[in-house]
Structure 1
Amino acid sequence: MALAETMAPHLKAMNMAMATSITLPPREREVVALAVLHLERGEWEIVQHREVAEFMGIPKAMVDAIANERYSDQMFTDREQALLAFTRQVVRSVRVDDLIFKAVAAFYDPRQIVETIFVIGNYMMLLRISEVVELPLEGAAGAGFWKSQKQPA
């Protein structure tokens, strides 16, 4: 990010807002992030977010279910299933069909839906940066930022 000195401060500000100011609950924000990263195969970000998920109390079995797109697994609440289905359609199709939109709108208000789209888009962008520049996979620093925000679940 240091090479993008005009963009990096703005990206940092958006990520700070995502961490501290959105109304989408932190654990659900992380579920969305995990889904995006696995759908898009962002290896560096996946390594980081395994640690974040653990910090936030998301069970490994749930992370594995997300990685394998088992979004209808009984371990997910109806709310989480709707959020995951919405995330998958935004990532894969851009548009969301009426059935999926109605399902997510039953649990989330319009602001939270738009915030979710921002989270999805942010992680799609971040993983493209990390994959194209081939950040090394060794070592995870992912939970450091979230720990500094004191935001477990």
Structure 2
Amino acid sequence: MAASLDVSGHCLCGAVSYNATAVSHDVGVCHCGMCRRWTGGPLMYFDVEGAPVIEGAESIGVYKSSDVGERGFCKRCGSVLFWKVAGEDRYTFTAGSLDTPSGFILTKEIFVEDKPAFYEFANPTEKLRGSDAMSAYTGDEPK
């Protein structure tokens, strides 16, 4: 497994910035209907260890989109920032919010059964069904 690394990022307007420890250089893509509706396309994300340090937290809006997840965004400019496990310090941040995305690589796609046919990624990735991806976050057995 690749070593973790310190990263920073911010929203479009700069009202919210963060520092966090990325688990690895791996970027995942979520094809679920909620992420596609939220971002206008697939959500590209990376996993973070523990809670990030956030400046401008008063500018973050949080939407509880399910029993499992909460979505964070900048209330000022609307930038999509993170998805997290509800009630826990388990975050995934958007790859597009990174200040320095060099070295990151797309390695995984989740909710592949929900991916529309009008796009495809060129590089090979691990592909997981939604139930398998969610069990990794919740610890529950896939249904």
Q: TM-score, normalised by structure 1?
A: 0.26
Q: If each structure's strand is expressed as a fraction of its own residues, which one has the higher value?
A: 2
Q: TM-score, normalised by structure 2?
A: 0.27
Q: If each structure's helix is expressed as a fraction of its own residues, which one has the higher value?
A: 1
